Amino acid sequence: MRKLPVVAIDGPAGSGKSTVAKEAAKRLDFQYLDTGAMYRAATLVSMETGIGPEEPERLTKEIASRQFQFYFRPGFYKVELDGRDITEAIRSPELTRLIGPVCEIPGIRKLMGELQRRMGAVGGVVLEGRDIGTVIFPEAEVKIFLTASAEIRARRRWREQQAKGITLDYQTVYEDVIKRDQRDMQRDNAPLKPAEDAVIIDTSAMSIEEVIDKVVYLVEECMKNLSGGGA
């Protein structure tokens, strides 16, 4: 039995997973694994090499040949590809629009899934994505599914882009969120859905601090049980 739990946070685009996972990990002094960043890094390889998802075997082989480094400690976040810092490059709107088809390639999901399991196996880790509680860590001690209306999630994404100086109209962001939802929920390989035993949190009317407080509370209650302090 792990001494510290694995915390799996799933949910659709714009539900607040990354922010909540980062801050909860910081408060709990856990490691944070941004699984979305791993798929973004894979998508960057596709963009830079010109090997698209229509060549899944070739793209999977190319990605397997690359060296990825992910530094996800509280207060320090960095992603490297073959020794090159790609932390900012993987967050571009162009890459965001291309990531869906790359994520659906079984070979790439297998590669990234194995990496995620190795990095999180010892516990004391918060992972966020779309299939963490259902596929990557179905045995996770804490499973949480964050959700919110498409309109609110699109508004959050739009504000994030505005803050970064990226000019996109709200309607474009909203349509991207809808398309991403459809792809994630309808894909054959690891579709987006809550784990049967996940705690579902609708963040539509909650502040980010309220969501973080809820997640931290759930993890701390789990830790009491792991240490034998539960009822």
User: How many structural domains are present in the chain?
Assistant: 1
Q: pLDDT by residue (tens digit) across 172-201?
A: 999 989 988 888 888 877 788 999 999 999
Minimal CA–CA distance to 46: which of 59, 57, 37? Answer: 59
Identify the domain containing residue 200 by its residue range.
Answer: 6-223
Q: Return the CATH number at 136.
A: 3.40.50.300
Position 230 in a domain: no
Position 228 in a domain: no
- From CA 131, how far away is CA 141, in angstroms rounded? 15
- From CA 226, how far away is CA 23, in angstroms rounded? 22
Please say whether the beta carbons of 157 and 35 come within 8 A: no
Position 231 in a domain: no
Position 98 in a domain: yes
- From CA 42, how far away is CA 63, in angstroms rounded? 6
The pLDDT value recorded for residue 231 is 45
Average pLDDT over residues 79-93: 94
- From CA 35, how far away is CA 129, in angstroms rounded? 6
Average pLDDT over residues 45-52: 97
Question: pLDDT tier at 74 (50, 70, 90 boundaries)?
Answer: low
Q: What percent of the chain has pLDDT over 70?
A: 97
Separation of CA 35 from chain center? 4
Q: Hey, what are 39's tokens?
A: 């798929």
Query: Residue 141: which region, alpha, beta or left (left: phi > 0; alpha: psi -120 to 50)?
Result: alpha
Position 78 in a domain: yes
Minimal CA–CA distance to 4: which of 202, 225, 173, 229? Answer: 225
Position 34 in a domain: yes
Residue 66 or 100, more confident? 66
Average pLDDT over residues 111-136: 92
Position 30 in a domain: yes
| Position 46 pLDDT exceeds 90 | yes
Mean pLDDT of all residues belonging to the chain: 91
Average pLDDT over residues 153-171: 87
Position 48 in a domain: yes
The pLDDT value recorded for residue 36 is 85
